[in-house]
Amino acid sequence: MSTQDIATLRQRTQGALEAHRKAARTVTVLSCLLAAHDALGYLPQEAIEEVARSTDHTINDVWGVASFYTNFRFTSPGEHTVEVCWGPTCHLVGAMNVLQAVQEALGLQGEGETADGRISLKYNTCLGACSQAPVIRSDEHVLGGMTPARALALLASLRHKQT
């Protein structure tokens, strides 16, 4: 990573933490980590250091909090994120067929990033849209009535979409 990229990560984290401090009633290490994670999509070392600095804790303290929560990721996500719901309702109406098609198309055995870094695959246990099951979230869009064919069309459109 270049020096400029590192400086940009620090600036973006500082901006997120500043906005968080203005908006939040209570500022904690965890709330700052969430703010940084929302802004960057993951928690690089630079974000951990900025949270430590802004909350007056040690870097080890902040890592201790961050590493406790499995929802935080510490490597950069793909340009697009596809979350396949495999919760009970989606499972009953075909989520596993959708998931299998998505994994095969992306060349993945489980969650992770495609080799070209374009798409991240995540699992979800409920996207809150059970009435539309099976459901996928594509970046910020929740898409219901998913089938393997619709999922493959979605992946094809994401591969060609500019970020």
# chain residues binding ligand FES, by CB under 6 A: 12
- What's the one-letter identity of residue 125? T
Considering the complex, what minimum distance in angstroms separates the CB of residue 130 from ligand FES? 4
- How are beta strands 136-138 and 112-113 bridged, if at all? unpaired
Residue placing its CB nearer to ligand FES in the complex, 53 or 91: 91
Q: What is the DSSP letter of 9?
A: H
**H/E element holding 157?**
helix 148-160
User: Per-residue x/- mask for ligand FES, residues 10 to 49, rule CB under 6 A?
Assistant: ----------------------------------------
Strand, coil or helix: 105 = helix
Distance of alpha carbon 5 from alpha carbon 11, whole angstroms: 10
**Which residue, 69, 70, 66, 21, is CA-closest to 46?**
66
Which one of 24-32, 46-54, 60-68, 87-95 is the stretch in contact with ligand FES (CB under 6 A)?
Answer: 87-95
Residue placing its CB nearer to ligand FES in the complex, 30 or 126: 126
Structure tokens at 105: 């198309």
User: Per-residue x/- mask for ligand FES, residues 118 to 147, rule CB under 6 A?
Assistant: --------xxxxx--x-x------------
Considering the complex, what minimum distance in angstroms separates the CB of residue 64 from ligand FES? 32
Residue with tokens 């965890």: 30
Told to check if 89 binds ligand FES by CB under 6 A, we report yes
* 100, 134 contact by CB (below 8 A): no
Q: Which residues bind ligand FES (CB under 6 A)?
A: 85, 87-90, 126-130, 133, 135
